Amino acid sequence: MNIYILQILLLSSFSISAFGQWQQSAGTAGLNMQSLLTNGTYNFAGGQTGAYLSTDIAANYSLSNNGNDNIGPTRGFTKDNNYTYTCTSQGAFRSADNGATWVSKSIGLTNLLGGGILKVGTRLFYVGPTGVFMSINQGDAWSAAGLSTTDVRCITAINDTLFVGTNGAGIYKSTDWGANWVQIINGLGNSANFRAIESKGNTLFAGGPIGTGVYRSTDFGANWTLLGGGLSSGSYRGFASNSQIIVAGSFGAGVFYSTDNGNNWTAINSGLTDLTIFDLELNDNFIIAATNTQGVFRFPLSNLNLSTGIHDIDTKSDISLFPNPTSNLINVKVDYKLIGTPYNIYDNIGKRVFSGIINNENTSIEMENLPGGIYMLSIGDNYTHISKIIKQ
C-alpha cells in the first residue's frame, strides 16, 4: 500500500518544538556572521571573529577558530570527504578534525582576501579581488584560473560549469575550469555588482545590487530575469536551496522562501532581530541565517508548507526491520535497488545520531550504545524512505 508522508510529519514525530518564528542560536548574540556550512551533524558559522561550530543542529555555537584567521572575517566555507575549508581575510584554511584545528592553505593565492570558496568535483575554487584560483590537491597549492583583474565576490557551479558574480563587471561563466570566461549579462540591465549566486538544479539565482533584487536564469546564464512574486526590492547577500525550496537573504528586508523555483516568495521574519542577512544554510531540520549584528538564527522547516516534500513510499516491499523493538542490533532488509543508498538515524529531538550506507540487501546497524527510546531511520535523500525504530 502506498503512503504519502510529508516532511512536516516526519519532523513533528521527532517532537521538535514548533515555535513559529526564528530562534537566536546561543553563543552568537551580538556577533557579525557572514558565512554558514552544514556538514552532517556539524554546523559551522563564520564572521568577524572567526569560525564557530554547533553540534546540536544550530541551537548552540562555540568558537572553533584554533589556527584559522583571527584578524578578519571568515567569509565562506566548503567541504569534501576529508576536510572542511574556510575562505577568510587571510586566505584559505583547512581542518581535518571538523573545526577543532585549522591550517593555512594559501600557497599560490596572489591576494589572500577571499570572497568565496567552492568544491566542484575534485577541485577547489577560491575567489577574491584578483580573480579565481583553483586547487587540484585539496588546497595544498593554488593556481590562477582567470579574471585576474576582476574583483570576484561569489561562485557556484552546475555540474562542471562555473559561474561567478563580480563587483562591477556582472556575471561570468566558464566551461573549462577557468581557462576561459564569458560575460553573461543579458537581462541584468545596469546591474554589475553581485555578492551572492546559487545553483538549484539547473536554475541559477543571483543577488543584485541595491534597487534591484534576485535575478534568475533557467538557461545556464544566457538570459536573466528580475524576480518579483513577493520579493522585496534591494540587495541580496545569501541563498540556500535543496530540492524543495530556495531561500534568499536580503540586506535589510530579512528572509524570503519559494517552493516553486522562484515564481512566488514569502517573507519569514518573525523573531528575526536583524533583517540584514549575509548567508543562509539548510540542515535537516532548520533554515539557518547569518546576520550582520545579531549572530545566527534558525527557523524550523516543519513550519513551512513544503508541498514538494511529499514522497511516495512503498512500505510493503522496500524496507523491513527486525527485531523491532530491539535492544542491540537492528537488521534492515531492503530491495536491491536501495543498495548503495545512504541512511541516517535520528533521535526524538531530530538530531542525527548515526549514519552509513546500505551495503547489501541485509544490513545490520549496531544500536547497543544508544539510550532507549524512539528513533527514525531515513533511507535516501530528502527522507525518501522512513521507518520507526524502538530501542529498549
Are 298 and 304 in contact by the 8 Å Cβ rule? The answer is: no
Between 112-116, 212-216, 256-260, 383-387, the lowest mean confidence (pLDDT) is in 383-387
Collapsing DSSP to helix, strand or coil, 382 comes out as: helix
Average pLDDT over every residue of 256-266: 95
Q: What pLDDT, on a 0 to 100 scale, did the predictor assign at position 106?
A: 98
pLDDT at 155 over 70: yes
Average pLDDT over every residue of 262-273: 96
Tens of pLDDT, residue by residue over 176-193, are: 999 999 999 999 999 999
The string of DSSP codes covering 118-141 is EEETTEEEEEETTEEEEESSTTS-
Q: What is the CATH number of domain 315-391?
A: 2.60.40.3080
What is the rounded average pLDDT for all residues in the chain?
89
Tens of pLDDT, residue by residue over 50-96, are: 999 999 999 999 999 999 999 999 999 999 999 999 999 999 999 99
Q: What pLDDT, on a 0 to 100 scale, did the predictor assign at position 354?
A: 85
Q: b/e for 29-44, b at 16 or more Cβ within 10 A?
A: eebbbbbbbbbebbbb
Q: How far is CA 231 from the centre of its chain?
A: 21
Residues paired with residue 287 on neighbouring β-strands, in sequence order = 282, 299
Are 91 and 114 in contact by the 8 Å Cβ rule? The answer is: yes
Tens of pLDDT, residue by residue over 18-33, are: 346 999 999 999 999 9
For residue 15, what pLDDT band results from cuts at 50, 70 and 90? very low
State how far the Cα of 9 lies from the Cα of 263, in Å rounded to an integer.
26
Domain ranges of the chain: 13-308, 315-391
Tens of pLDDT, residue by residue over 87-132, are: 999 999 999 999 999 999 999 999 999 999 999 999 999 999 999 9
C-alpha dihedral (27, 33, 35, 39), degrees to nearest 10: 0
Tens of pLDDT, residue by residue over 280-336, are: 999 988 999 999 999 999 999 988 867 533 333 333 346 788 888 888 888 888 877
Let me know if the fold of 13-308 is the same as that of 315-391: no
Q: b/e for 126-138, b at 16 or more Cβ within 10 A?
A: bbbbbbbbbbeeb
Which of the four CATH numbers 1.20.810.10, 3.40.50.2300, 3.65.10.10, 2.130.10.10 does domain 13-308 have? 2.130.10.10
Q: What is the pTM of this model?
A: 0.75
Q: What pLDDT, on a 0 to 100 scale, did the predictor assign at position 324?
A: 86
Q: How many CB atoms lie within 10 A of CB 243?
A: 11
Q: What pLDDT, on a 0 to 100 scale, did the predictor assign at position 391?
A: 86
Contacts of 372 (CB under 8 A, 6+ apart): 391, 392
Tens of pLDDT, residue by residue over 347-388, are: 766 678 888 888 788 888 888 888 888 888 888 755 457 778
